[in-house]
């Protein structure tokens, strides 16, 4: 099976499971919690969970996919809270939760998803020891995500954020949830310690690359394709790798911290491309993918291992 077919099949499976579990909301708060959860998405984290589980014990994901939803639910919890903090009005082409239900209800909706994630893991058909480890991993991951988000916001007040600081922040904010997806899948499937460690490093690396690519998409992809406000990171003064590389090339992005026309965005993209900024940022992402794939050598050869490699490259080749 090719990766595209696998991802579509897994996304359909995840969507069906989500509808079975949460498709009949009884309260307005449940509707708010479900809003982004049912608004689409590629379901990449459950797909990674499934591949990791099957790479250490073939076929194990068939009894664990409900637990794999915990990663998607956690992801959506962070999105609701991020949208509040970033004051974003649209996500996945739809109005954000706080713009419909208000900020207090949106905060609570995120909290509901946070609680659901732990409940899903606790119901896993697996021995108690790996379930405890998986639960602890998710708890640690959620704490790190919050730390990463706080760092990301604090960076907006600085003009001297280094490449190393940025990569450390991105590992916490984005990378570690992919690392957790791989680890939790492998743990519940009965993976060995060396396999779990390799998959964790793989997940974190492709997660960092994913965020770098996301920063590129924020700048390069029109809103009609991405479902987000184009160049919002530039306008908000976020210290992404693009901004750091631009500063290193002597490009001042402060004049772009305002509402920008499509022509102005196109001009900025042209400038950053000609100065090598876009190419340098893309290389950082590619290097992360190379490191991730090399780490998979510990795994036995399998169709799932091949697709883990394909998935890694997909993370930095997607356009939205």
Number of domains in the chain: 1
Residue pair 299/212 in contact by the 8 Å Cβ criterion: no
Which domain does 226 fall in, by range? 3-317
CA distance 204 to 182: 9
Q: What pLDDT, on a 0 to 100 scale, did the predictor assign at position 74?
A: 98
62, containing H or E segment: none
Q: What pLDDT, on a 0 to 100 scale, did the predictor assign at position 86?
A: 84
β-sheet bridge partners, residue 95: 90
Residue pair 217/282 in contact by the 8 Å Cβ criterion: no
**CA-based torsion, 85, 86, 89, 95: positive or negative:** negative
Domain of residue 190, CATH code: 1.10.600.10
Helices (H) and strands (E) in the chain, counts: 16, 2
Widest Cα–Cα separation across the chain: 58
Q: How close are the terminal C-alpha atoms of the chain, in Å?
A: 23
Residue pair 273/230 in contact by the 8 Å Cβ criterion: no
Tens digits of pLDDT across the chain (320 residues) = 899 999 999 999 999 999 999 999 999 999 999 999 999 889 999 999 999 999 999 999 999 999 999 999 999 999 999 999 988 888 888 999 999 999 999 999 999 999 999 999 999 989 999 999 999 999 999 999 999 999 988 998 888 999 999 999 999 999 999 999 999 999 999 999 999 999 999 999 999 999 999 999 999 998 878 767 899 899 988 899 999 999 999 999 999 999 999 999 999 999 999 999 999 999 999 999 999 999 999 999 999 999 999 999 999 998 77
């Amino acid at each position: 099976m090719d990766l595209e077919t696998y991802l579509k099949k897994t996304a359909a499976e995840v969507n069906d499971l989500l509808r079975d579990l949460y498709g009949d909301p009884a309260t307005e708060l449940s509707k708010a919690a479900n809003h982004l959860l049912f608004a689409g998405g590629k379901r990449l984290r459950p797909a990674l969970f499934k591949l990791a589980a099957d790479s250490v014990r073939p076929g194990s994901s068939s009894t664990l996919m409900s637990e794999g939803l915990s990663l998607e639910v956690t992801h959506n919890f962070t999105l609701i809270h991020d949208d509040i903090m970033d004051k974003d009005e649209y996500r996945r082409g739809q109005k954000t939760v706080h713009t419909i239900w208000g900020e207090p209800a949106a905060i609570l909706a995120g909290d509901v998803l946070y609680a659901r994630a732990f409940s899903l893991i606790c119901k896993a058909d697996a021995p108690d020891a790996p379930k405890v480890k998986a639960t602890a991993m998710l708890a640690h991951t959620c704490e790190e995500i919050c730390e990463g988000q706080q760092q990301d916001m604090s960076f907006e007040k600085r003009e001297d954020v280094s490449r190393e600081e940025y990569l450390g922040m991105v590992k916490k904010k984005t990378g570690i949830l992919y690392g957790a997806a791989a680890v939790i899948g492998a743990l519940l499937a009965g993976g060995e310690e060396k396999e779990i460690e390799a998959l964790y490093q793989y997940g974190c690396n492709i997660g960092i690359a994913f965020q770098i690519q996301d920063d590129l998409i924020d700048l390069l992809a029109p809103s009609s394709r991405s479902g987000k406000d184009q160049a919002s990171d530039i306008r908000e003064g976020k210290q992404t790798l693009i901004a750091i590389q631009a500063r290193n090339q002597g490009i001042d992005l402060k004049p772009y911290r305002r509402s920008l026309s499509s022509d102005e965005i196109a001009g900025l993209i042209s400038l950053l491309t000609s100065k090598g900024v876009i190419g340098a940022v893309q290389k950082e992402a590619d290097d992360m993918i190379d490191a991730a794939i090399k780490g998979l050598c510990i795994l036995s050869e399998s169709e799932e291992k091949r697709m883990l490699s394909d998935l890694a490259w997909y993370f930095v080749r997607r356009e939205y």
